[in-house]
Amino acid sequence: MSTVAAEEVASGWRARLELGFAPRPGRTALVHRRQRGPLAVQRPFYPEDDVCHLYLLHPPGGVVGGDSLHIQADAGAGAHALVTTPGATKFYLSAGASAQQVQILRVAVGASL
């Protein structure tokens, strides 16, 4: 592990993820993705035909002391998306540093997120 990566893990993960969804013929598409840090997305899939399903991935599988995760998702007019993560409810107890996860969700008229 590099020195920079070791320092980042020791003080907590810092990550920012921006997502944008828009309707396309027959389904909603992920049209914008900007990421910084370890948060990532799997390839969108469509078990409900037009609804875009997306898994967010965070390497430790949960949020620990010192982590600072910022997620922003925008669903444009008429877009339909479901965003989740395997570690969605895993916030681990910390003896020191606080952790935070900020989520900003914007849903336009006729959209669902």
Residue 101 inside a domain? The answer is yes
Provide the residue count of the chain.
113
Q: What is the largest CA-CA distance in the chain?
A: 50
**Tokens standing for residue 89:** 């409810």
In this predicted structure, the answer to whether residue 1 has a pLDDT above a threshold of 60 is no
Residue 113 lies in a domain: no
Least-confidence region, from 54-68, 73-87, 97-111: 54-68
Predicted confidence (pLDDT) per residue in 33-64, tens digit = 999 988 889 899 999 889 999 998 887 777 88
What range does the domain containing 52 cover?
A: 3-107
Global confidence as pTM = 0.82
Please report the pLDDT score of residue 57 as a whole number: 86
Question: DSSP states of 28-64 as a string?
Answer: EEEEEEEEESS-EEPPPEEEETTEEEEEEE-TTSSB-
For residue 112, is it within any domain? Answer: no
As a whole number, mean pLDDT of residues 24-40 equals: 94
